[in-house]
Amino acid sequence: MPTPRQLEMNRRDLMVVAGACAAFSTTAGGARAQPAPAGEPVLSEVSFSVNGRNHRLELDTRTTLLDALREQLHLTGTKKGCDHGQCGACTVLLDGQRINSCLTLAIMNAGAEITTIEGLGGVDNLHPMQAAFVKHDGFQCGYCTPGQICSGVAVLDEIKAGIPSHVSHDLTGAMAPTAAEIRERMSGNICRCGAYSNIVEAMTEVAGRQG
């Protein structure tokens, strides 16, 4: 837990510090976020299932789950928007829960059951959430869309399971898929094209159908 002293640093201070750090490191040739590697990459085997199919991969241990999906398994429906857990474009379902796949190393997920956008439905058999996104035009460029849809599916499950959010009035009571709940819970998925209003309508329709 942060101490009160730490909390005194507000966001603006933090940016000043971050700026200073970046500036100081520049003359030496740029910041190094991680120690420089000396030898060959360390490889490790990992097995998990993706969309119901088992995969056994030998991976550089630095490989994120996102890059394993995109670059090894060529499941490019899962998008890399920031690689820092800031945008939500890489959201997948991991053992039924949503996760930013850029923030977890692939080898940390041995035995996991992963569902990506390709696993929810295909062009000829759309998942109800996918169909609702098309109907309500819940996207434009389409790049954040798989992440929005994976998040959207998980959000409705979270509400059904009674998991409260910042806007829930009653932390232990039944949750309803209201627009406010949807907006709050979806806020980790950025859409720069600004399809939010339509996404809420798509999710509301699916939530209604689920009953």
Q: What is the helix (H) or strand (E) element at residue 53, kind and residue range?
A: strand 53-60
Residue 7 sits in the site that holds another protein (CB under 8 A): no
Residue 115 contacts residue 121 (beta carbons within 8 Å): no
Look up residue 136 and give its two tokens.
């309500």
From 1-9, 93-101, 135-143, 168-176, span contacting another protein (CB under 8 A): 135-143
Among 44, 113, 118, 128, binds another protein (CB under 8 A): 118
Residue 192 sits in the site that holds another protein (CB under 8 A): yes
For residues 150 and 88, give the distance between their C-alpha atoms in angstroms, rounded to a whole number: 10
Which position has the token pair 């857990």?
Answer: 85
Residue 30 sits in the site that holds another protein (CB under 8 A): yes
* Residue ranges in 61-90 that form contacts with another protein under rule CB under 8 A: 62-63, 67, 70-71, 74-84, 86-87, 89
* Angle CA 44–49–52, to nearest 5: 165
Q: Which is nearer to another protein, 48 or 146 (CB)?
A: 146
* Residue ranges in 143-172 that form contacts with another protein under rule CB under 8 A: 143-146, 149
Residue 205 sits in the site that holds another protein (CB under 8 A): no
Which position has the token pair 């060529």?
Answer: 74
Residue 29 sits in the site that holds another protein (CB under 8 A): yes
Q: Which is nearer to another protein, 112 or 186 (CB)?
A: 186
Quick one: DSSP state of residue 107? Answer: G
Which position has the token pair 């690689």?
Answer: 83
Residue 175 sits in the site that holds another protein (CB under 8 A): no
SS3 for 60-76, per residue? ECCCEHHHHHHHHCCCC
Residue 26 sits in the site that holds another protein (CB under 8 A): yes
Residue 104 sits in the site that holds another protein (CB under 8 A): no
For residues 30 and 26, give the distance between their C-alpha atoms in angstroms, rounded to a whole number: 5
Residue 209 sits in the site that holds another protein (CB under 8 A): no
From 1-9, 93-101, 107-115, 176-184, span contacting another protein (CB under 8 A): 176-184
Residue 202 contacts residue 145 (beta carbons within 8 Å): no
Residue 6 sits in the site that holds another protein (CB under 8 A): no
